[in-house]
Amino acid sequence: MSSEEVRMGCPECHGAAVKNGTIRGGQFMRCKECGHQFMADLERRRLPDEIVSIIKKLLALGVAPELISKAANISSRQAYNYKKQVVNG
């Protein structure tokens, strides 16, 4: 997998998407399969359940959300949201 590819599926066909330029505060993606263009919304990107489970375990163990966000390639805001979920039970 090249560095330009991200693990984000096309919302239309779930094919592999590549980065296709950025706009202020956002990342445009283009599907390699069907050519559909869409905004990569890191805040709402859905992670696999097992990844979320690992993230929450690490947060519960006291790993900083900043480190989690870098390791899991999510926004720090998303990592903090998971942290809140852990804290709130």
What is the closest distance, in whole angstroms, from the C-beta atom of residue 22 to Zn ion in the complex? 20
Q: Which of 33, 38, 43 is nearest to 21 (CA)?
A: 38
User: Does residue 11 touch Zn ion according to CB under 5 A?
Assistant: no
Beta bridge partners of 7: none
Residues 8 and 48: their CA atoms lie apart, in Å, by: 11
User: Does residue 30 touch Zn ion according to CB under 5 A?
Assistant: no
User: Does residue 34 touch Zn ion according to CB under 5 A?
Assistant: yes
Residues 45 and 25: their CA atoms lie apart, in Å, by: 15
User: Does residue 5 touch Zn ion according to CB under 5 A?
Assistant: no
The residues binding Zn ion (CB under 5 A) are 10, 12-13, 15, 31, 33-34, 36
